[in-house]
Structure 1
Amino acid sequence: MAVPKERVTLSPAQVEGSVGPGHSAILTPEALAFLAQLHRQFDGCRRVLLAARHARQARFDAGELPDFRPDTVAIREGHWTVAPIPAALRDRRVEITGPVERKMIINALNSGAKVFMADFEDSSAPSFINQIDGQINLRDAVDGSIEYTSPEGKHYRVNDNPAVLIVRPRGWHLPERHITVDGEPMSGALVDFGLFAFHNAHKLNARDRGPYFYLPKLQAMEEAALWDEVMAAAEAALDLPPESMKVTVLIETLPAVFQMHEILHALRGRIVGLNCGRWDYIFSYLKTFRAHRDRLLPDRGQVQMTVPFLKAYSELLIQTCHRRGAFAMGGMAAQIPIKGNDAANDAALAKVRADKLREVQTGHDGTWVAHPALVPVAREIFDKYMPSSNQLNVVRADVDVPRDQLIAPCSGTITREGFDNNVEVALRYTASWLDGQGCVPIHHLMEDAATAEIARAQLWQWLHLGPLEFTDHAPIDFALFDHSLTKHTHRLIEEKGPYAHRAEQAAALLRQLTHADELGDFLTLAAYEQLA
């Protein structure tokens, strides 16, 4: 007689700590069980892939240079294309991005952009309240019920014909310590993706709206393949059609630029495009070559998309995408309106126009802006030079980008002003982030985690790979850094702004990271333990 097998009931994910108003509607037992399923099935692979990142970086630190993979030549040379692009995503000429804050969501959906990327990652500080409030806000946006009334009494609601919604979860490297499975913290990526999919996927799919996702910080085709497996499992668990979830991948790490064909191939049933995530890409260049004195970058203001290694990256992305039938999205315009100074505002808008003109004329299918006021500016350029819905017909057969062109050193100078600006931006952004705000206007630019990462990575390199000098031949040293950090800390405190009370905490963290013998992987990882 057969002995019946004992049925094992696995526990759902556990919420650690208190939850805010309305959070229980997101953190339901069923949703937590779904998260636990994703964690148990995929977190082991995620950890293996993160270990592979560290091993890869160790090889770069020892002198190896990034290159195209010899084991994937057949993929790069093969004749294949990605799946057809959904109708809702065939015209993406202007996309706006921003955090999952309620007012921001409404304004972005109403901005006139074709797409709104709701960001759980670089423009959000991932406090547990922020992340779950963001899920509530997106649920209400999908339902069509989202509204907001400001403290001054101004009422906001979504107009007819809003932008198409795409959600960016956190990267594979970021944890969510407030939700655990079997005693382990979950991946922030799986939490953000899982909760949004669980509560909204059916409604969006019924409207032919995916759901759609932007995937950040990938370094290798295996990381893309993991996302494909996660989404396939989610579709099966939620009874959705296979490959109904569609993705766009940000090419924002230097290792990934050598695997663009491979990433498209790994996600070929659901990918619709790649995006030039320029700021994170510059940070990744710095981090990849953190031990290479011959590849130091000058002041970040001098590292524009026209410098050789960035121009090569952009044009190779366009050629790769269009060869495979995928869109090639341009990068972010971080400028914001300058009120009260018409000349400065005109100069800022002229920079935006020049950048968008370069993108559309080289073959990009769309572009990003950070502020609603820039949507008409970018749209005017793309409407004029891209009358059709996209530029998949622009094959860029003229582009031939070898390995050395993608990693070419960048000429330029290191100035006192650039050094001091890096200290100020890194400090102000970190203070704001620790206070729960991940998107910060500083000197008329919208700074997020990527630009703060550039600032602190440059400071570390300039100080550790010396001796180096400014253009006036004064030495770049730790005494100068400490003096500049103290100066800006005191100035921030004296301003008594919204995050001034975090100034000393942020300064202590930056001092620790900058003086450390090794450049830390991510500012947001180091700061996460101090986030409420």
Structure 2
Amino acid sequence: MTSSETGTDPAPALQVHGELLPRFEEILTPEALGFVATLAERFGSRRDELLQARVDRYAAGRPGDHLAFREDTAAVRDDPAWRVAPPAPGLEDRRAEMTGPTTRKMVVNALNSGARAWMADFEDATAPTWFNVVDGQLNLYDAIRGQVDFTDERGKRYEVGAETPTIMVRPRGWHLDEAHLTLRQAQGTERAVPGSLVDFGLYLFHNAAALIAKGAGPYFYLPKLESHLEARLWNDVFTAAQELLGIPYGTIRATCLIETTPAAFEMEEILYELRDHSSGLNAGRWDYIFSMIKNFAEDADHVLPDRSQVTMTSPFMAAYADLLVKTCHARGAHAIGGMAAFVPSRSNPDATTAALAKTTADKSREAGLGFDGSWVAHPALVQTCLDAFVAVLGDRPNQLERQRPGVSVTRKDLVDVSTTGGEVTVDGLRTNVRISLEYLSAWVGGAGAVAIDNLMEDAATVEISRMQVWHWLHHRVRTADGTVVTEELVRRILAEVVDTLAADADEPARGRLDAAREVFEQTCLVEEWPQFFTGYAYGHFLVEQSLIEQGLAEQGRA
């Protein structure tokens, strides 16, 4: 496409601060950057206002007390007539969806997985280094054009088969910036561009026409929304982007993740705002647990047990799932289930057999509840997920016709955790600390999805871990054996875990471990916890450090 066809300025207002590695110029074209700049200029201030509304809500204190179904949007919920758009091409059957980062090898594996759809993740499963952001776009560009392949370090070549899943892209959430691209302001200053608009804009600009020509379209997942106003902003971005690119209104489709507690009270309103571009809702279970802790951080009666003991059968989680399915099917929208995070292990076949049985039970439960499909984090789980849904769906692509009129979910059902059961243990505390450190060590090194203890950990699961530790520490929770969680105890465990992990580590790994420890301390062992660990970690280790290293490299080349 030319700049005249897109309505964008070929001389972009964006300044590129990242290194231009081989082929990066194919993605960072003047026209593509101009398109992203236009979106940032039009919608950046509204995004800032909505983020400030989040800050104000938490700063006011006890945000969980104010969670409720909104009175000012009751007319939307009470109107039985409206529906979302019918399923877009390639999104009719979503009974098994793969998720994962956009690295070259992962792209090939996901496209060969046999899943119905693949969620290419620039958010929780990607550490947003400059390389990962642009390289991920290149890999998707090649995949859509049938020119992606991969040869590993052993010389094994991976190629993509004839049948591939429908691609869906999850851009970063509204809360994250892309520091390597800045927009020049009217007053002469520069500010970072929202990472969400970078991921969305670059992908749409380069691939919309090719996707439409293949009989599909540009499809997205929207993460971490906290209100229908944030969904409205995305809808306005979609409308403007389609106009700029000259593609039909409604071509863009998006599934919204309900992964924050405030969003659970606005499911219908979120669908309504996105209705012409909606492809349903997803039960983002991990971030949802994290959000529950954040919203009730000041409440000792909302302490949750060990992370492993909070499941989708916990009453407050079951209520959330029931409401999501009922809401979606009442409006003709897909309801997509949560993540199966198990990673099979050839070295431990017994554990693999047991985990596959748990995955089957989990996916069978979701299909029985009325979900139309679900997520898995590993290709080896795709068939298990498919089988569970085929057992319920048969040859039907979905079960959108299945209504849940008897389901009634109240505010109390959604926020009462007193019947969760389980207990807080010292082992659970130690596991939260260890997993946080192992994951964060990988994250600052550029890996966003990490297999630990045969589970795929990503940013969301680590957010639960660090926030649980903060919550237990803040309320001096007593564990099952009577131990009180204190800062002294947490720091002692932290030191022990660091020593264990550092024992066999080389110097670069120890450096990453030191960085991980700093991130954990600054986002967990503080009185005022940050909304997300990614803000601190990104600014200190993926931006500052990379720019320092880039500067040193440039000096060396001079």
Q: Does structure 2 conserve the Cα–Cα contact (< 8 Å) formed by 1:82 and 1:325?
A: yes
* Structure 2 residue 478 is matched with structure 1 residue 478: no
Change in 2 beyond 3 A, CA 1:12/1:430: same
Which position in structure 2 is the counterpart of 1:36?
37
Which position in structure 1 is the counterpart of 2:147?
145
Which position in structure 2 is the counterpart of 1:5?
none
Which position in structure 1 is the counterpart of 2:464?
454
| CA distance, structure 2, for counterparts of residue 245 and residue 210 of structure 1 | 7
Change in 2 beyond 3 A, CA 1:495/1:352: farther
Q: Does structure 2 conserve the Cα–Cα contact (< 8 Å) formed by 1:426 and 1:455?
A: yes
| CA distance, structure 2, for counterparts of residue 12 and residue 189 of structure 1 | 18
Deviation at 1:207, TM superposition (A): 2.0
198, 201, 204: which one pairs with 1:194?
Answer: 201
Change in 2 beyond 3 A, CA 1:60/1:81: farther
Q: Does structure 2 conserve the Cα–Cα contact (< 8 Å) formed by 1:115 and 1:163?
A: yes
Structure 1: unaligned runs, 5 residues or longer? 1-7
Q: Does structure 1 conserve the Cα–Cα contact (< 8 Å) formed by 2:57 and 2:63?
A: no
| CA distance, structure 2, for counterparts of residue 229 and residue 123 of structure 1 | 26
Q: Does structure 2 conserve the Cα–Cα contact (< 8 Å) formed by 1:12 and 1:34?
A: no
Which position in structure 2 is the counterpart of 1:54?
55
| CA distance, structure 2, for counterparts of residue 129 and residue 234 of structure 1 | 25
* Structure 2 residue 271 is matched with structure 1 residue 270: no
| CA distance, structure 1, for counterparts of residue 510 and residue 381 of structure 2 | 29
Taking the TM superposition and a 5 Å limit, the aligned residue runs for 1:131-530 are: 131-182=133-184, 183-387=190-394, 388-409=396-417, 410-466=420-476, 468-496=477-505, 499-529=509-539, 530=541
Change in 2 beyond 3 A, CA 1:499/1:117: farther
Change in 2 beyond 3 A, CA 1:12/1:365: same
Which position in structure 2 is the counterpart of 1:4?
none
Counterpart residue identity of residue 68, structure 1: F
| CA distance, structure 2, for counterparts of residue 92 and residue 131 of structure 1 | 26
Structure 2: unaligned runs, 5 residues or longer? 1-8, 185-189, 547-558
| CA distance, structure 1, for counterparts of residue 318 and residue 118 of structure 2 | 26
Q: What's the secondary structure of 2:131's corresponding residue?
A: helix
Q: What's the secondary structure of 2:279's corresponding residue?
A: strand
Q: Which runs of 4+ in 1 moved over 4 A?
A: 8-11, 497-500
Q: What's the secondary structure of 2:468's corresponding residue?
A: helix
Q: Does structure 1 conserve the Cα–Cα contact (< 8 Å) formed by 2:225 and 2:258?
A: yes
Q: Does structure 1 conserve the Cα–Cα contact (< 8 Å) formed by 2:252 and 2:277?
A: yes
Q: What's the secondary structure of 2:73's corresponding residue?
A: helix
Deviation per residue, 1:124-171 (Å, 9 max, x gap): 000011100000000000111111111111111110110110000000
| CA distance, structure 1, for counterparts of residue 287 and residue 64 of structure 2 | 22
| CA distance, structure 1, for counterparts of residue 32 and residue 88 of structure 2 | 28
Q: What's the secondary structure of 2:211's corresponding residue?
A: helix
Q: Does structure 2 conserve the Cα–Cα contact (< 8 Å) formed by 1:60 and 1:289?
A: no
Counterpart residue identity of residue 323, structure 1: A
Which position in structure 2 is the counterpart of 1:15?
16
Q: Does structure 1 conserve the Cα–Cα contact (< 8 Å) formed by 2:176 and 2:535?
A: yes
Q: Does structure 2 conserve the Cα–Cα contact (< 8 Å) formed by 1:249 and 1:273?
A: yes
Q: Does structure 2 conserve the Cα–Cα contact (< 8 Å) formed by 1:276 and 1:331?
A: yes
Deviation at 1:43, TM superposition (A): 0.2
| CA distance, structure 2, for counterparts of residue 478 and residue 51 of structure 1 | 31
TM-score, normalization: structure 1? 0.96
Which position in structure 2 is the counterpart of 1:125?
127
TM-score, normalization: structure 2? 0.92
Which position in structure 1 is the counterpart of 2:556?
none
Deviation at 1:391, TM superposition (A): 0.9
Q: Does structure 2 conserve the Cα–Cα contact (< 8 Å) formed by 1:60 and 1:288?
A: no
Which position in structure 2 is the counterpart of 1:87?
89
Counterpart residue identity of residue 35, structure 1: V
Counterpart residue identity of residue 458, structure 1: Q
Q: Does structure 2 conserve the Cα–Cα contact (< 8 Å) formed by 1:335 and 1:370?
A: yes
Deviation at 1:423, TM superposition (A): 0.2
Deviation at 1:11, TM superposition (A): 4.7
Q: Does structure 1 conserve the Cα–Cα contact (< 8 Å) formed by 2:63 and 2:295?
A: no
Counterpart residue identity of residue 90, structure 1: E
Taking the TM superposition and a 5 Å limit, the aligned residue runs for 1:89-128 are: 89-128=91-130
Change in 2 beyond 3 A, CA 1:499/1:95: farther
Q: Does structure 2 conserve the Cα–Cα contact (< 8 Å) formed by 1:174 and 1:525?
A: yes
Q: Does structure 1 conserve the Cα–Cα contact (< 8 Å) formed by 2:64 and 2:295?
A: no
| CA distance, structure 1, for counterparts of residue 377 and residue 32 of structure 2 | 32
Q: Does structure 1 conserve the Cα–Cα contact (< 8 Å) formed by 2:12 and 2:31?
A: no
Q: Share of identical aligned residues, percent? A: 46
| CA distance, structure 2, for counterparts of residue 511 and residue 107 of structure 1 | 36
Query: Greater CA deviation, 367-376 or 485-494?
Result: 485-494
| CA distance, structure 1, for counterparts of residue 10 and residue 156 of structure 2 | 50
Change in 2 beyond 3 A, CA 1:45/1:140: same
Number of aligned pairs?
Answer: 524
Deviation at 1:174, TM superposition (A): 0.3
Which position in structure 2 is the counterpart of 1:25?
26
Deviation per residue, 1:336-375 (Å, 9 max, x gap): 1022222211111111011011100110000100000001
Deviation at 1:86, TM superposition (A): 1.5
| CA distance, structure 2, for counterparts of residue 195 and residue 471 of structure 1 | 50
Deviation per residue, 1:165-199 (Å, 9 max, x gap): 00000000000000001111000000000000111
Which position in structure 2 is the counterpart of 1:3?
none
Deviation at 1:58, TM superposition (A): 2.9
| CA distance, structure 1, for counterparts of residue 79 and residue 462 of structure 2 | 39
Q: Does structure 2 conserve the Cα–Cα contact (< 8 Å) formed by 1:290 and 1:519?
A: no
Deviation per residue, 1:495-524 (Å, 9 max, x gap): 327844311111122122222111210011
| CA distance, structure 2, for counterparts of residue 62 and residue 382 of structure 1 | 37
Q: What's the secondary structure of 2:301's corresponding residue?
A: helix
Deviation per residue, 1:226-254 (Å, 9 max, x gap): 11111111111111111100111100000
| CA distance, structure 2, for counterparts of residue 385 and residue 274 of structure 1 | 20
Q: What's the secondary structure of 1:476's corresponding residue?
A: coil
Q: What's the secondary structure of 1:330's corresponding residue?
A: strand
Counterpart residue identity of residue 406, structure 1: L
| CA distance, structure 1, for counterparts of residue 60 and residue 334 of structure 2 | 32
| CA distance, structure 2, for counterparts of residue 408 and residue 294 of structure 1 | 9
Counterpart residue identity of residue 137, structure 1: N
Deviation at 1:383, TM superposition (A): 1.0
| CA distance, structure 1, for counterparts of residue 117 and residue 333 of structure 2 | 16
Q: Does structure 2 conserve the Cα–Cα contact (< 8 Å) formed by 1:12 and 1:35?
A: no
Query: Greater CA deviation, 83-92 or 102-111?
Result: 83-92
Q: What's the secondary structure of 1:200's corresponding residue?
A: helix
Q: Does structure 1 conserve the Cα–Cα contact (< 8 Å) formed by 2:12 and 2:33?
A: no
| CA distance, structure 1, for counterparts of residue 385 and residue 511 of structure 2 | 37
Counterpart residue identity of residue 397, structure 2: S
Q: Does structure 1 conserve the Cα–Cα contact (< 8 Å) formed by 2:13 and 2:183?
A: yes
